[in-house]
Amino acid sequence: MSHHKVRITVNGTVGEGEIESRLLLVHYLRETRGLTGTHVGCDTSNCGACTVMLDGRTVKSCTVLAVAADGADVLTVEGLAGGGELSPVQEGFRQCHGLQCGYCTPGMVMAATGLLLENEAPDETEIREGIEGNLCRCTGYDMIVDSVRWAAANGGAGEAAHRHVHGRGAPAPDAAAPAPSGTQPAPVVTP
C-alpha cells in the first residue's frame, strides 16, 4: 500500500503526515484529525452527510482522496462556530428546528453555507435545489428550507465560511485552537 506525505489545513490548523494513498478525505478528517462531526451516510456519494468545504467549494468528502487535498484548506462543521457563537446557518437550523437526529446535519449545514456563499438570498426553489445533494430522513426538508431562509436573513454564510473563501489558512478565531506553527497559509486555489 503506497503512502504519501500530505499537508492539509483543517479549520485553520495545519496537519502534516504520511497517509495511505487510498484514504478518503472523510476518514482522514474523522480518524487522522479526530474531527468526527463529518459523517458517513452512504458509500455511493448520494447522501451528502460528509459534505465539507474544500478550497472554497462544497465537496462530498467520501468522494475525495485525502491525498488530493494535499496543500488544500478544508472547512468542516467544527470550524463554523466562532468564539462559541453558532454561525447564522447553525443558528437558523436551531431556531427553525431544521434537524432531528442530527446525523445529516453537519453535511446539510455545510451545503447550506456553500449555497449562501453563492447566493445570498435564495428563494425556496433555489434552496431546495441547493441542498438537493444532501439527504435527510427526519425532517421532510420543509423546516430545513425555513432554516436556510432564516440564515439568509440573519448574516448569511457566516464569518468562518467567508474567511475560508477569502483568506484561506488563517486560524479560526477560536482561541482554544492551537495556532499553526511555522507554516504558510495553504495555497489559494480559485474555485
Partner 1 sequence: MGSMVGAAVVRKEDPALLTGRGTYVDDVRLPGTVHMAYVRSYLAHARILSVDTTGAAAMPGVLGVWTNADLEGMPPNRSVPGMERPCLAKDRVHFVGECVAVVVATDRYLAADAAEAVLVEYEELPVMASVAAATAEDAVPIIEGTASNVVLEQVLSATDAEEELAAAPHRLAIHLKNQRCAAVPMEPTVCLSDWQNSGLTIYATTQTPHHMRNEMAQMFGLSQQEVRVVAPDVGGGFGAKASCYPEFLLTAELSRRLRRPVKYVETRSENMTSMVHGRAQEHDVEVGFDDDGRLLALRVRITQDCGGWPDATGIGLPTLTSFMSGGCYKIPVIAPSFRSVVTNTTPVGSYRGAGRPEASFMIERVVDHVAAELGLDPLEVRRRNFVQPGEMPFATQFEGIVYDEADFPGALDKLLEHVDYPLLRKEQATRRDDPAAPLLGIGFSTFVEMGGFGPTPLFEQFGYVGGWESANVRLNVDGSAVIKVGTSPHGQGHQTAFAQIVADELQIDFDRITLIHGDTATVQEGIGTMGSRGVPVGGSAVMKAAIKVREKAARIAAHMLEADESDVELVDGEFRVKGAPGKSVGMGEVAVRAFKPHLLPDGFDLGLDETAFHEPQNLSYPSGAHCCVVEIDRDTGKVRIARYVAVDDCGTVINPLMAKGQIHGGVAQGIAQALLEEVAYGPDGQPLSGTLVDYTLPSAVDLPHYETDHLVTRTSFNPLGAKGLGESGATAAPQSVVNAVVDALSHLGVRDVEMPCTPQKVWRILQQNGS
The β-bridge relationship of strands 73-75 and 57-60 is unpaired
| Number of residues located near partner 1, criterion CB under 8 A | 56
Give the one residue of 14, 67, 74, 143 binding partner 1; rule: CB under 8 A. Answer: 143
Sign (positive or negative) of CA dihedral 176, 187, 7, 165 = positive
The region of 2-10, 122-130, 149-157, 180-188 touching partner 1 under the rule CB under 8 A is 122-130
What is 141-156 written as a DSSP string? SHHHHHHHHHHHHTTT
**C-beta closer to partner 1: residue 106 or 114:** 106
Total Cβ atoms within 10 A of residue 20: 16
* Shortest Å, Cβ 18 to partner 1: 15
Give the one residue of 102, 167, 173, 187 binding partner 1; rule: CB under 8 A. Answer: 102
Give the one residue of 3, 5, 57, 137 binding partner 1; rule: CB under 8 A. Answer: 137
Q: Does 118 bind partner 1 (CB under 8 A)?
A: no
Is the separation of the CB atoms in 145 and 128 below 8 Å? yes
